Amino acid sequence: MSNKLGLPEKNIELQRNTWKTNQLNSTLKSEQATSIVSANPDDLDDLDDIKEGELVENQDTFWAIVSLSAALLAVSLAAIFIRLSEREIGPNATVFNRLWIATVVFAVWNGVGAARRRMSDPEPEVRSNYTLSDFLLLTAVGVVSSASLGFWAWSLTQTNVANSTVLRNLTPLFTTLGGWLLLGRRFDNRFLVGMVVALAGAIAIGVEDLQTAGDHLTGDITALLSAMFYAGNLLIAEHLRTKFPATTILMWRCFIGSILILPLVVLAGDRVFPYSWQGWLAVIALAVVCQAFGQGLLIHSLGRLSSGFVALFLLLEPVITAIIAWVLFSEKLTFLNWLAFSVVLGGIYFAKSSGSAEKQSSKKEK
């Protein structure tokens, strides 16, 4: 018939092939649409669960940083309270009163929490037993934390605040090295660069008042030891957070620390307790605000954030302290100070954007 119409046979065959191709493409598209609509509901549920899990993780990280920020504000007041306390009692007595008062606070907190759980849930709560390793680690965190507090308080009597602050700000360096050497942690380049930048800014904050005279050598060494012991405290506390809540860790830490410090106070013949209401107010504020509230939120944040990032974030402590002194006591802040503050913030932000800021463990923390 094609010949009768005068159409070439090849054109008719080409049209047939084109029509078949279009029909095949339409069939394939309809099958793909059908497969999407009729996908397995379980697969879609898994996808929703993944998205929901990511959202929860982001929220947990956000609230951990909020807790850490509140802790930073609280512990930034420690230097002021320590100075007020040491007008009446020595550094060891200051640490002792700080720890035993905080022990009472945490004991009451844990007791009230246990009573509320019993009232809300009549069934007895099954709690994990303490192992020998748990006892050793809880004791160790009390020892190293008390040593850090004692060395820092002593350094403030042997050197100026700038030297003590600058040297104690090396804590992130020791925390990172300890995590790498002892725990096999790995830190990416972004985190390390952020740490170096933040450390440079923290050192620049007190560089104008930094003194290198030989008569400050003892105080400088004790401040450096305080940084090393505080790094050990963060590493041990981060490990303990996989099993215990922050209040339990801190109650043990403060209780053991107070027992260790008391003999030193007695043997040195120092006054144990303040003699005025101003002195008592200083040590109570030091215990409640800095130790219970500040350190409590700090240890709580270790359930989500790595000890290296927490130590790095605490470099903002001298920044907050300097701003408080600027507001309350009209102390002068130079352009170099503000520039150093910006450098610290930039370094912390850079480190936070790395994967090393959060804990690598996938375990659910308490």
Within a domain: 363: no
> Mean pLDDT over residues 295-304, rounded?
81
Within a domain: 24: yes
The amino acid present at 152, given as its one-letter code, is W
How crowded is residue 102: how many other Cβ atoms within 10 Å of its Cβ? Answer: 27
Please tell me whether residues 260 and 219 are part of one structural domain. yes
In whole angstroms, what is the distance from residue 265 CA to residue 285 CA? 20
4-13, 196-205, 287-296: range with lowest mean pLDDT: 4-13
Please tell me whether residues 32 and 181 are part of one structural domain. no
Q: Could you read off the pLDDT of 48-57 as tens digits, one per residue?
A: 555 555 555 6
Q: Over 50: is that where the pLDDT of 28 sits? A: no
**Cα separations (Å) of 78 from 39, 71, 120, 254, 332?**
59, 11, 37, 16, 20
Please tell me whether residues 6 and 94 are part of one structural domain. no
Within a domain: 366: no
Collapse the DSSP code of 356 into the 3-class scheme (helix H, G, I; strand E, B; otherwise coil) and give the result: coil
Within a domain: 365: no
Q: 116 exposed, middle or buried (CB, 10 Å; 0-12, 13-18, 19+)? A: exposed
Q: Could you read off the pLDDT of 152-192 as tens digits, one per residue?
A: 777 877 776 666 777 777 788 788 787 777 767 777 777 78
Within a domain: 362: no
Binned at pLDDT 50, 70 and 90, residue 38 comes out as very low
Please tell me whether residues 122 and 178 are part of one structural domain. yes
Number of structural domains, the chain? 2
Please tell me whether residues 8 and 99 are part of one structural domain. no
Q: Could you read off the pLDDT of 265-294 as tens digits, one per residue?
A: 888 888 889 988 888 999 999 999 988 888
Report the pLDDT value the prediction gives residue 288, as an integer from 0 to 100.
92
Please tell me whether residues 31 and 46 are part of one structural domain. no
Please tell me whether residues 21 and 75 are part of one structural domain. no
Report the pLDDT value the prediction gives residue 4, as an integer from 0 to 100.
46
How crowded is residue 157: how many other Cβ atoms within 10 Å of its Cβ? Answer: 15
Phi, psi of 346 (to 5 degrees): -65, -40
Report the pLDDT value the prediction gives residue 362, as an integer from 0 to 100.
39
In whole angstroms, what is the distance from residue 318 CA to residue 173 CA? 17
Q: Find how far residue 162's CA is from the centre of its chain.
A: 24
> Mean pLDDT over residues 343-359, rounded?
71
**Residue whose pair of structure tokens reads 């004790």 in the numeric block:** 222
Asked if 251 and 155 touch (Cβ cutoff 8 Å), the reply is no
Q: Over 60: is that where the pLDDT of 309 sits? A: yes
Within a domain: 29: yes
**Cα separations (Å) of 105 from 23, 102, 149, 237?**
78, 5, 19, 19
In whole angstroms, what is the distance from residue 304 CA to residue 291 CA? 20
Phi, psi of 22 (to 5 degrees): -60, -40
Contacts of 90 (CB under 8 A, 6+ apart): 265, 268, 270, 271
Q: Over 80: is that where the pLDDT of 30 sits? A: no
DSSP 293: I
> Mean pLDDT over residues 63-86, rounded?
82
pTM for the predicted model, two decimal places: 0.67
Collapse the DSSP code of 305 into the 3-class scheme (helix H, G, I; strand E, B; otherwise coil) and give the result: strand
Report the pLDDT value the prediction gives residue 33, as an integer from 0 to 100.
47
Please tell me whether residues 22 and 68 are part of one structural domain. no
Q: Over 80: is that where the pLDDT of 106 sits? A: yes
Report the pLDDT value the prediction gives residue 269, as an integer from 0 to 100.
82
Report the pLDDT value the prediction gives residue 32, as an integer from 0 to 100.
47
The amino acid present at 268, given as its one-letter code, is A
Please tell me whether residues 25 and 152 are part of one structural domain. no
Look at 223 and 11; give whichever has higher pLDDT. Answer: 223
Report the pLDDT value the prediction gives residue 208, as an integer from 0 to 100.
57
User: 3-class secondary structure for 107-128?
Assistant: HHHHHHHHHHHHHHCCCCCCCC
Asked if 249 and 257 touch (Cβ cutoff 8 Å), the reply is no
Report the pLDDT value the prediction gives residue 27, as an integer from 0 to 100.
54
The amino acid present at 60, given as its one-letter code, is D
Asked if 322 and 337 touch (Cβ cutoff 8 Å), the reply is yes
The amino acid present at 271, given as its one-letter code, is R
Within a domain: 141: yes
Report the pLDDT value the prediction gives residue 280, as an integer from 0 to 100.
93
Q: Is the dihedral of CA 229, 234, 235, 236 positive or negative?
A: positive
> Mean pLDDT over residues 214-228, rounded?
77
Collapse the DSSP code of 90 into the 3-class scheme (helix H, G, I; strand E, B; otherwise coil) and give the result: coil
Q: Over 50: is that where the pLDDT of 259 sits? A: yes
Tokens of 298: 């700090």
Please tell me whether residues 64 and 169 are part of one structural domain. yes
Report the pLDDT value the prediction gives residue 286, as an integer from 0 to 100.
92
Please tell me whether residues 175 and 48 are part of one structural domain. yes
Report the pLDDT value the prediction gives residue 67, as an integer from 0 to 100.
83
Q: Which candidate, 101, 105, 104, 149, places its Cα nearest to that of 279?
A: 101
Q: Which domain holds residue 22?
A: 2-37
Q: Please report, rounded to a whole number, the percentage of residues in the chain having pLDDT higher than 70.
A: 71
Please tell me whether residues 53 and 22 are part of one structural domain. no
Within a domain: 116: yes
The amino acid present at 165, given as its one-letter code, is T
Look at 49 and 71; give whichever has higher pLDDT. Answer: 71
